[in-house]
Amino acid sequence: MRKSALYSSASSPPRPTPGAAQAVADASPPRTGPARRLLARLTGQSTGFSGAVTVLLALLLVLSLSAALRPAPQRLTQKDINAAVLKTLATSRLPSPEARAYAAIRPSVVRVVGQTKTRRAKDGSSSAERSVGTGVVIMDKGVILTNLHVVQGTVSIKITFADGSESSAAIVNVQPENDLAVLQAATIPDDLQAATLRSTTGLRPGDQVMAVGYPFGIGPSSSAGVVSGIRRTLSASENENEHPINNLFQLDAAANPGNSGGPLVTMDGEVVGIVTAIYNPSEQHTFIGIGFAVPVENAASAAGLSPF
């Protein structure tokens, strides 16, 4: 029985002689793949309902053959994952713990400038004194912690936030025994971020910490170090607030005038203390390697926050 043609034409082509037919067959391009040849044979021979079923079965056979010939996906082993992680660590420069801590606390650190009364000299000229320190936002409604000696005796207080915006501020609470003052900013940025406070329970000498503030008004500046000691005491003659301060952390992270009131943070960027004083028996009042910070538990209680 003669097979049906795979294509048709408007006019019937002349019937080739046996020799010519063999030549045409030899010159025709070979059909690709056994599945395609099977599909062509089945579709050429099938008609009606049984033909449709045959075609469907042929298509399923083609799909099955294609799936069988497709290479199986490679399974990742723990060894492959470890190798990829090691390659990433070797080729990528990750931020240091100090850099991550600074990035976490920076949005909450503010510059605090206190303006004192204007003084008139004998020659009639006048001058206004100011104190520069640091503060840290502990509530996103604009509640700020700083040192009492930064704002004590001032007639006005100006806050500069991390985004550069400025606001006046008022003292809403003080804790002289810990040299702490709580400020409320008059206006705040829309996206103001409060710092995360962390309990000092478990903090030990040798633990890494960072002080962030405005030493000599320059900043914000960061300095890293360790907790040098715990439960230290500053006598009234050794601190600017003229009150003895107890239960202080000692630190070797550099601090200078202007750092007062700034946060002492862990490598997670969480606040564990408020930088309060430096120890220097000379008259220069610069850092010689010993600084002190009030534990955050005392600072939180000054702001009326619940203890940890």
Instruction: Read off the CATH number of the domain in which 134 is found.
Output: 2.40.10.10
Task: DSSP letter for 197, please.
Answer: B
- pLDDT for position 301: 81
The residue among 6 and 291 whose pLDDT is bigger is: 291
What's the farthest any 2 CA atoms get from each other in the chain? Answer: 132
- pLDDT for position 259: 95
The answer to the question of residue 140 being in a domain is: yes
Radius of gyration of the chain measured on its C-alpha atoms: 40
Nearest by Cα to 98 from 214, 266, 262, 228: 266
The answer to the question of residue 172 being in a domain is: yes
The domain boundary residue, chosen from 45, 68, 91: 68
- pLDDT for position 234: 83
Q: How many domains does the chain have?
A: 3
The domain boundary residue, chosen from 11, 42, 68: 68
- pLDDT for position 92: 76
The answer to the question of residue 98 being in a domain is: no
215 and 180 in a common domain: no
- What are the Cα distances from residue 83, in Å, to 73, 75, 122, 184? 19, 14, 77, 52
The residue among 33 and 235 whose pLDDT is bigger is: 235
Whole-angstrom Cα distance, residue 133 to residue 111? 6
What is the domain range of residue 230?
Answer: 208-302
227 and 162 in a common domain: no
The H or E element containing residue 27 is: helix 18-27
| Structure-token match 């439960």, residue found | 231
Structure confidence at residue 279 as a pLDDT band (50, 70, 90): confident
Structure confidence at residue 24 as a pLDDT band (50, 70, 90): very low
* Count, residues in the chain: 308
Three-state secondary structure call for residue 249 = strand
213 and 258 in a common domain: yes
34-45 vs 48-69: helix axis angle to the nearest 10? 170
Kindly list the catalytic residues.
149, 179, 260
The two tokens of residue 7 are 């294509």
The answer to the question of residue 194 being in a domain is: no
The H or E element containing residue 273 is: strand 271-278
Residue 281 has pLDDT above 60, yes or no: yes
Query: In the chain, what are the helix, strand and coil shares in percent, each to the nearest 5?
Result: 30, 30, 40
Whole-angstrom Cα distance, residue 246 to residue 103? 31
- Phi, psi angle pair for 192, to nearest 5°: -60, 130
The residue among 101 and 281 whose pLDDT is bigger is: 101
- Cβ atoms within 10 A of the Cβ of 238, count? 16
The answer to the question of residue 167 being in a domain is: yes
The answer to the question of residue 117 being in a domain is: yes
What confidence tens digit (pLDDT) does each residue in 170-180 have?
999 999 999 99
What is the pLDDT of the chain when averaged over all its residues? 81
178 and 109 in a common domain: yes
The domain boundary residue, chosen from 170, 185, 200: 185
| Bridge partner list, 113 | 132, 158
The residue among 215 and 76 whose pLDDT is bigger is: 215
The answer to the question of residue 255 being in a domain is: yes
228 and 295 in a common domain: yes
Residue 26 has pLDDT above 70, yes or no: no
Cα 246–chain centre separation: 35
Whole-angstrom Cα distance, residue 192 to residue 206? 32
Q: Around 215, how many Cα atoms within 13 Å sit in the side-chain half-sphere? A: 15
The answer to the question of residue 200 being in a domain is: no
What confidence tens digit (pLDDT) does each residue in 39-71 have?
555 555 545 556 666 767 777 777 777 666 666
- pLDDT for position 5: 38
- pLDDT for position 103: 96
| Bridge partner list, 115 | 130, 156
Whole-angstrom Cα distance, residue 99 to residue 267? 9
